[in-house]
Structure 1
Amino acid sequence: MIDVPLSVLDLAPVQSGRTVAAGLAATTELARRTEAMGFHRFWVAEHHNMPGIASSAPSVLLAHLAAATTRIRVGSGGVMLPNHAPLVVAEQFGTLHALHPGRIDLGIGRAPGTDQATALALRRTRDGLSAEHFPQELAALFRYFRGTDPGGITATPGIGEEPEVWLLGSSGYSAQVAAALGLRFAFAHHFSAANTEPALALYRENFQPSEHLARPHAMIAVAAVVADTDEQADVLALPRELAFLQLAAGRPQALPTPEQAAAFPIGARERHFIEQRREGQLLGSPETVRQQLDDLFARTRPDEIMLNTLVYDLEDRIRSFELFKEKVIAA
């Protein structure tokens, strides 16, 4: 029996032929609709210099999403800490927590979520951009939330307004940091499926209880496209794969239409890339996805599951979540 909280990870996609405003409006409507379905969290991810993703300013978007909903937790999946001064993150999420107490999640990542030139443009200095600086940056963030900065700086809002903190990761490094600090851990299975089980094992085996958490608590983010038939799901998922193919080639673009994806010349190398991308993900009819989910759950035993459904039309995205709740989980 799979009985864990279900949540949503959205990239605020910008669709080919449509505006950024339309993409953000679709994300807002998806938050409202998934809240009505009973999903637990709605997260957005920080990306930069990508014309197909509009969630480059998570704290701004989260303020809008929290105001547009009433119960669902909203959060970052994640804020990429190397891009920001810890004081700024504390003030932004302290503000969100003060405005929407009990509903804000701060998911933190250690990668910049973009290329190095863009990361440098964001940070304006190379200080703090490398992985070895991450633990110190994270410690500084917690000091601002708790009012223990040795320099006497007070984050207002921030102090006394600590949201629920998660550490995000796609490797063993983040799993070990989350375990050592006793933090909740969210693993990016949707783009690092081969590392999921080893990372979760590292996290659980090395977990140290903390003031945050008494025992390990892990969530996996998984790509999911559910449709009435396997064939329909394959058609809906192809634009997502083409978008990642273009990104890997250094040509990021807006999310293509299903027609554009179907017309794209896919050779043996592209087909291999697509098959690798789909390995371990959830794709197909409710019956197919239920079998895939049973296998994934048995191997990973997550405390929560977060679905990333990247398809072109909003109604198809909503339909995928409806089928997941009504015919996959409830089956």
Structure 2
Amino acid sequence: MTVPLSVLDLASVRDGSSHAEAVADTLTVAREADRLGYRRFWVAEHHGMPGVASSSPPVLIGAIAAATERIRVGSGGVMLPNHSSLVVAEQFGTLVALYGDRIDLGLGRAAGTDPLVSSAIRRNVGIETVDDFPQQVIEVLAYFGTIPPLEGGQGSRIMAIPGMGDSPELWLLGSSDFSARLAGMMGLPFAFAHHFAGGDATPLAFEIYRDAFRPSVVLDRPHSMVAVTALVADSADEARRLALPQALQMIRLRSGRPARVPSLADALAHPWTDAENAFVDQRLAHQAIGTLEHVRRRIEALVASTLADEVIVVPQGPGVDERLRTVRELAR
């Protein structure tokens, strides 16, 4: 398999650690991914989540790009409804001015948080709707000068500096068929969040993207990437054990109790119910969790079912050492 591998890091905040330690861990993983020859290193935008320290992707991307030499660095993604298209263009135009052709801008249409936090981010002007997202993407492209601005649109009256002429590599992200179809219609690269969407919907999203694709000034043919959770261990049982802290964190988040990533000891001591164990088993079955050979086969199967051009792995584990092991093992 010759599909390029990249890394998506969630800047996890472990119970008992600090935000500074979480960001330092992300930089450690980024340096190792750079050394090992991975293609991209992305971070995601989340707000109000105690277990995730990546609320400001442009700031974190700048630090990662400064700490690495070759690897592309970007967002997976910036949640565009939270922001002014002009500010996004200025931020990423500045990153391109600083680091040249190493910057990616992945755009998502979800808020990445709850309505109250979204309202605070946008100073109560209200969150953009799904119908607004395509218009915002067009605005961003116009601010970069990738496409002409719509007559009377913001890009025809306002110039992004930096931004105009400083375009990063732009991707649309999604976990449903909406962004897949939009990315195809706009002729943009598409990345699918299999690491939390999972299931049989993943191959369908890629099929929709390819069917909807129309050549553009950005791409003349479809180009796609799939994100998958990865954890390499000595055995399947050990891999499941090491995956429990993030699984418990997700269960708490879905039940309205967001928290930091618990320690392995706390996760093992948790009184797991049958329903919770079933949730863990179902989730892990769709991801790449196990021995190196199993993880390799899972990634190959995912590429075969989606025909994705690239894979971006989301390394997990109770600490940074487990994330580093997965990154190192997969680099073989």
**Does TM-score exceed 0.5, indicating one fold?**
yes
Gap regions ≥5 residues in structure 1:
327-331
- TM-score, normalising length: structure 1: 0.95
Query: Hey, what's the Cα distance between the residues in 2 that align with 1:161 and 1:237?
Result: 40
2:316–2:322 contact (8 Å) kept in structure 1: no
Q: Does 1:23 find its partner at 2:25? A: no
Contact kept? 1:10, 1:44, Cα under 8 Å? yes
Q: Distance in 2 between matches of 1:291 and 1:222?
A: 13
C-alpha contact (below 8 Å) 1:128/1:134 kept by paired residues = no
Q: Which residue of 2 aligns with 1:323?
A: 329
Aligned partners of 2:139, 2:298: CA distance in 1, in Å?
Answer: 41
The match for 2:53 is 54
Percent identity for Structure 1 against Structure 2: 48
- Residue matched to 1:250: 256
Letter in 1 for 2:99: H
The residue that corresponds to 1:163 in the other structure is 168
Aligned twin of 1:184: 189
- Deviations along 1:25-84, one digit per CA (max 9) or x if unpaired, are 000011001111111100000000100000000000000000000100000000000000
| 1:182/1:212 contact within 8 Å kept | yes
2:41 is equivalent to residue 36 of structure 1: no
Separation (CA, whole Å) in 2 of partners of 1:208 and 1:291: 32
Task: Name 1:78's counterpart in structure 2.
Answer: 77
User: What does residue 11 of structure 1 align with?
Assistant: 10
Q: CA deviation at 1:141?
A: 1.2
Matches within 5 A, 1:159-308: 159-194=164-199, 195-308=201-314
SS in 1 for 2:239: helix
- Cα separation, 2, equivalents of 1:143 and 1:298: 35
Paired residues in the alignment total: 325
Q: Which residue does 1:96 correspond to in 2?
A: 95
Tell me how far apart the structure 1 counterparts of residues 90 and 123 of structure 2 sit (CA, whole Å).
19
CA RMSD of aligned residues (A): 1.2
> Is residue 193–residue 279 contact of structure 1 (8 Å, CA) maintained in 2?
no
1:118 maps to what in 2? Answer: 117
Q: In the aligned structure 2, how far is the partner of 1:145 from the partner of 1:181?
A: 15
Deviation of 1:142 after TM superposition, in Å, equals 1.3
Q: Which moved more, 1:37-46 or 1:315-324?
A: 315-324
Please tell me the residue identity of whatever aligns with 2:112.
Answer: G
| Deviates further, 243-252 or 274-283 | 274-283
SS at match of 1:193: coil
Structure 1 residue ranges, 4+ long, deviating more than 6 angstroms after superposition? none
What SS is found at the alignment partner of 1:255?
A: coil
Report deviation, 1:151.
4.7
Report the more deviating stretch, 142-151 or 106-115: 142-151
* Secondary structure, counterpart of 2:181 in structure 1: helix
Residue identity in the other structure for 2:77:
G
Q: Distance in 2 between matches of 1:246 and 1:255?
A: 10
CA-CA distance at 1:150 after TM superposition: 5.0
In terms of mean alpha carbon deviation, does 276-285 or 47-56 score higher? 276-285
Is the contact between residue 227 and residue 323 of structure 1 (CA under 8 Å) also seen in structure 2? Answer: no
